[in-house]
Chain A
């Protein structure tokens, strides 16, 4: 039985318009001839040309991609271990602490996380001389930390719904636990690993606040460069950059979603 309310449907439709109108306007005005990003004057690709000549943006984008790749991979390892311990190990010492540390970063205001990590890095450097200076390494550590929390949530929800009979069968047949994990568990949760890594990657690529705190002179990530540009006013080359990011992300997410749906169907058979 379905309950339908016209008011709800109307609000939902408007909600989707609300979600997509700003994104569409970004895309449309990236092809605008004029410098004004709100008045259409003719089709042009010149802002894309400008974007690819802007070495500051290109360097920042390369730094951001490196940080995102490294931190997402670290986050994947830490987050998967945390999720596995929380779902499969029952009671153990530190379970409560781990549970809190995995869920708190999801809602913690970024200014608090950024400030506290910076103060930790500065104090550690005073005590043991590590990490020497701030930049790629410190931003990567910061991003891996909150990325791990998001990965853990994704993997936890997959592990909870996973049937355990395959793992049990392998163990009964005498396979060693580590081997069961790599040969049975990992392939089954592979789609969740992919979405967890992608989530950590995009969150890292997107972060402005935490990176601003833990970065040092000379290490500007892409969001830091965009933010300083945008603070001075709207500029069409930012629209061009936004369009490229939106197109790449949409393609990646669609491919991942199709792949996951297909492998789920396959697994269900």
Chain B
């Protein structure tokens, strides 16, 4: 161990090793949030860039004008609050679906013969490596009115007319569940594969039925994995843009889509920034929950 301390002390490059990632991530990940916060407090202008500066020299004095109008606008226009609530609802329902499919998959993989586990895990991860956009696109072919699901339902005589599947909230749930499934399975698998088998055996020896053992031993022990997996799906799903844009209907109001439209269609950068700041505030709770769950899982 002492040699290792030498490694870190004696190495003159140590400061460099720390400085490069901190400077890069500080400049291109942390600092931008301050810029967003600043621009969310400025006024829209017809200029490039389309906002007024916060601070200006006028008559030899520095004038700083903070404009909370963008936030008041978000509060007064019901559309934004509705979009935040709708995003939280859609993300929560999709996360629940992902858990209901992901937990059994993680469980079966964790309990599989060791030589099969890696293969099954690879089958879970492989779709994640192929294009996200194209996997969402594939669902258009499945869900549209003359799509694969409707063709099958009509061929089997279950329905006469095609069902409206695409451009619904339901299609968005499927899209999110489908694309985020690996993020649920991997932390759950990591947790379940560490499960203490002796507890299971003890419960069985004491006469507990498998279901009782599962509910009283396995499920509580995997709580950390469940929280981590759910947050890994929920947090990015709240701000999802591509899935509601391609699979959702015109009234599927998600906040990521609202931000996109404010920026690209209305070119209102200050309001888009205010939308982003509020979204970040909404997500701080879930992010802290995730960090705690991950710390507990690692520790």
- Report how many A-B pairs have Cβ atoms within 8 Å: 279
Structural contact, A117 and B32, CB atoms closer than 8 A:
yes
Q: What CA separation (Å) do A8 and B109 show in the bound complex? A: 11
A266 at the interface (CB under 8 A from B): no
Check if A202 sits within 8 Å of B144, measured CB to CB.
no
A78:B141 contact, CB within 8 angstroms:
no
Size bracket of the B interface:
35 or more
Nearest-neighbor residue (CB-CB) of A213 within chain B? B263
A226 touches B133 (CB 8 A): yes
> Distance (Å) between the CB of A28 and the closest chain B CB?
10
B80 within 8 A of A: no
Partner of B232, one of A107, A119, A249: A107
Residues of A contacting B104 in the complex (Cβ-Cβ under 8 angstroms): 7-9, 11-12, 15
A178 and B28: CB pair below 8 A?
A: no
What separation, in Å, do the CA atoms of A177 and B49 have in the docked complex? 48
CB-based contact B25/A148 at 8 Å: yes
Question: Within 8 Å CB of B242, what residues of A?
Answer: 208-209, 227
Chain A interface secondary structure, helix, strand, loop or mixed? helix
List 17 extra interface pairs beyond A82-B25, A167-B4, A238-B134, CB under 8 A.
A3-B200, A4-B210, A15-B104, A23-B130, A26-B138, A36-B146, A78-B25, A85-B21, A101-B21, A116-B35, A120-B28, A120-B31, A145-B28, A164-B4, A177-B7, A206-B131, A226-B134
Spell out A's residues near B (CB within 8 Å). 1-5, 7-9, 11-12, 14-16, 18-23, 25-26, 29, 36-39, 77-79, 81-82, 84-85, 88-90, 92, 94, 97-98, 101-113, 115-117, 119-120, 122-123, 126, 141-142, 144-145, 148-149, 152, 164, 167-168, 171-172, 177-178, 180, 202, 205-206, 208-209, 212-213, 223, 226-227, 230-231, 234, 238, 241-242, 245-246, 249-250, 253, 257, 261
> What are 11 sample pairs from A and B whose C-beta atoms fall under 8 A apart?
A12-B104, A15-B181, A18-B178, A107-B232, A109-B238, A112-B280, A145-B24, A202-B129, A230-B133, A234-B140, A261-B118
